[in-house]
Structure 1
Amino acid sequence: MLPTINLKSKRRTAPMNKIRAIAAIIILGCLAFALNGCQGQQKDADFSNASEVAKLATFECTYHNVAKIERESDKAWFIDLQNGKQEWFEYDATVDFGIDASKVHIDEPDEKGVVAITIPQGQVLTEPNIKADSVSDPLDANGFFASVTDDERKEALSKAQQDTLDRAYADDTMIASARNRAKTLLEQYVKNIGNSLNESYTVKWIDEE
Structure 2
Amino acid sequence: MKKILVLLLTAIILVISTSCKQAEPEPINMEPKVSQMKSICELAVMECYYHNVAKLKEEDAEGILWWKKDKHFWIEYSGIVKLGIDASLVTMEVNGTQIKITLPEAKVLGCKVDSTSLQEDSYIVDVKSATISAEDEVKAFAVAQQQLEENAASNRALLAEAQQRAQTLLEEYIINIGNALGQEYSIQWVYLDSQGKPLSSTINTPITENEPANTENSSN
Q: Into which bin does the TM-score normalised by the smaller protein fall? A: 0.5 to 0.7
Q: Partner of 1:62 in structure 2? A: 49
The verdict on how the C-alpha distance between 1:109 and 1:190 changes in structure 2, with shifts beyond 3 A counting, is farther
Q: Which AA in structure 2 matches 1:88?
A: W
CA apart distance, 1:76: 7.8
Match status 1:103 vs 2:89? yes
1:134 to 93, 117, 124: 117
Q: What is the correspondence of 1:157-168 to structure 2 with a 5 Å cutoff?
A: 157-168=141-152
Q: Partner of 1:201 in structure 2? A: 185
Instruction: Return the index of the structure with the highest Cα Rg.
Output: 2
Match status 1:88 vs 2:74? yes
Q: Partner of 1:177 in structure 2? A: 161
CA apart distance, 1:141: 4.1
Q: Which AA in structure 2 matches 1:90?
A: E
Question: Which of the pair has the greater relative contact order for Cα pairs under 8 Å at 6+ separation?
Answer: 1
Distance in 1 separating the partners of 2:30 and 2:128: 75
Deviations 1:117-176 (A, max 9, x none): 1111111111x20112211322334459x4211111222222232222222221111111
Distance in 1 separating the partners of 2:117 and 2:158: 23
Distance in 2 separating the partners of 1:166 and 1:76: 36
Distance in 2 separating the partners of 1:77 and 1:42: 82
Deviations 1:18-37 (A, max 9, x none): xxxxxxxxxxxxxxxxxxxx
What TM-score comes out, normalization by structure 1 length?
0.67
Distance in 1 separating the partners of 2:114 and 2:183: 47
Distance in 1 separating the partners of 2:58 and 2:127: 9
The count of corresponding residues between Structure 1 and Structure 2 is 165
RMSD, aligned α-carbons: 2.8
CA apart distance, 1:109: 4.2
Distance in 2 separating the partners of 1:45 and 1:76: 75
Q: Partner of 1:116 in structure 2? A: 100
What TM-score comes out, normalization by structure 2 length?
0.64
Q: Partner of 1:41 in structure 2? A: 27
Give the structure with the higher percent strand. Answer: 2
Asked if structure 2 preserves the Cα contact closer than 8 Å seen for 1:50 and 1:186, the reply is: yes
Q: Partner of 2:218 in structure 1? A: none
Q: Which AA in structure 2 matches 1:188?
A: E
Q: Which AA in structure 2 matches 1:123?
A: K
Q: Which AA in structure 2 matches 1:132?
A: S
Distance in 2 separating the partners of 1:89 and 1:58: 28
Gaps of 5+ in 2: 1-24, 198-220
